[in-house]
Amino acid sequence: MREITYVQALNEAIREEMRRDPAVFILGEDIGVHGGAFKVSLGLLDEFGPERVLCTPIAEAGIVGTALGAALTGLRPIAELMYMDFATVAMDQIVNQAAKIRFMMGGQAKVPLVIRGQGGSGRGNAAQHSQSLEAWFAHVPGLLVVQPSTPYDAKGLLKSAVRNDNPVVFIEHKMLYGTKGPVPEEEYTVPLGAADVKRPGRDVTVVATAWMVPRALAAAEELAADGIQLEVVDPRTLVPLDEETILESVRKTNHAMVVHEAHRRHGVGAEIAAVIQEKAFDDLDAPVVRLGGKSAPVPFSPVLEKRLVPTVEDIVTAARELLR
């Protein structure tokens, strides 16, 4: 199977959905001639023209508000936020409007809206361009939240998100854009709400998200030399969360660890740990371990930035301690 980058996979997903359905269009800052800040929309303007590739002012509230209005009229917009941090500017449109309209209309209105953006640290972009805000969105009823970690998942999940009739917050990670992986040339989708076991193992279940998935896999490789097998589970979507795949893994390994980049305090790891505690308590041989970022703004300094989020070594150390 061919291998393409995460960025190319996203570009293919958008291109294929725009070809398949004339109601699909994209809007955002610099997405036209420049192809977006991270080149996800490169070449789309040439194929679909300015009526379906709308280059907007720097106004996130306007971008999301326009997309929301379009979704309510039957279109299927994909709104790009250059950085997911800037969703803060559009939180009224996302949280008070998009997430609630279908409920408040008694199900008579649909909101087929995708809000794309990249998050996370790793590039020295400092405190206002490096946040992991997925827990905010996962807390809001009415929003679906997606975090793909591979090119295959990125393409398949984005296609499913575009076809969904509910607002989807689609969070990409800046450090994954250049990663490569196998992606079929033929049509496929990945269903929302289905986790994936990225590596099977017998000793410890590691539930990891986004950039922490490749780090968990690297830790598993290192520990395998000592006969310790980590089973790495990627939820892929935080809402809906595939609890059963996670619980099935925990019932097999009897040990659980949750790893995410966002601040550990009140992060999605706490929710996943609670699910494990409530529904698989009798299967655990030790308490659930949570690894997450330190509760501090992301620093500009590369040295300090690296110390903020869990490393491969942190996962290795935590797994060894968990099995003692």
Catalytic residue among 34, 129, 139, 260: 129
- In sequence order, what are the residues at sequence separation of 6 or more whose Cβ sits closer than 8 angstroms to the Cβ of residue 225? none
CA distances to 16, 25, 93, 297 from 173, rounded to whole Å, are 22, 22, 23, 17
The CATH number given to whatever domain includes residue 240 is 3.40.50.920
Question: Are residues 221 and 176 part of one domain?
Answer: no
- pLDDT for 277 equals 97
Q: Per residue in 193-226, pLDDT tens?
A: 999 999 999 999 999 999 999 999 999 999 999 9
Question: Are residues 169 and 69 part of one domain?
Answer: yes
- pLDDT for 83 equals 95
Domain residue limits at 105: 3-182
Domain-located, residue 22: yes
CA atoms within 13 A on the CB side of 121: 28
Q: Would residue 173 show up in a list of annotated catalytic residues for this protein?
A: no
Phi first, then psi: what are they for 98, rounded to 5°?
Answer: -55, -45
- pLDDT for 41 equals 96
Cα torsion 115, 120, 125, 129 to 10°: value is 40
Q: How far apart are CA 296 and CA 6, in angstroms?
A: 29
Domain-located, residue 270: yes
Domain-located, residue 188: no
Number of domains comprising the chain: 2
Q: Per residue in 245-286, pLDDT tens?
A: 999 999 999 999 999 999 999 999 999 999 999 999 999 999
- pLDDT for 51 equals 95
Question: Are residues 172 and 215 part of one domain?
Answer: no
Question: Are residues 215 and 176 part of one domain?
Answer: no
Q: Per residue in 68-84, pLDDT tens?
A: 999 999 999 999 999 99
The percent of residues in the chain predicted with pLDDT above 70, rounded, is: 100
Domain-located, residue 187: no
Domain-located, residue 191: no
Domain-located, residue 218: yes
Question: Are residues 271 and 219 part of one domain?
Answer: yes
Residue after which a domain boundary falls, among 182, 205, 223: 182
Residue after which a domain boundary falls, among 114, 148, 182: 182
Q: What is the pTM of this model?
A: 0.96
Question: Are residues 22 and 74 part of one domain?
Answer: yes
In this prediction, residues 319-323 reach a mean pLDDT of 97
Q: Per residue in 73-129, pLDDT tens?
A: 999 999 999 999 999 999 999 999 999 999 999 999 999 999 999 999 999 999 999
The CATH number given to whatever domain includes residue 175 is 3.40.50.970
In this prediction, residues 32-37 reach a mean pLDDT of 92
Domain-located, residue 19: yes
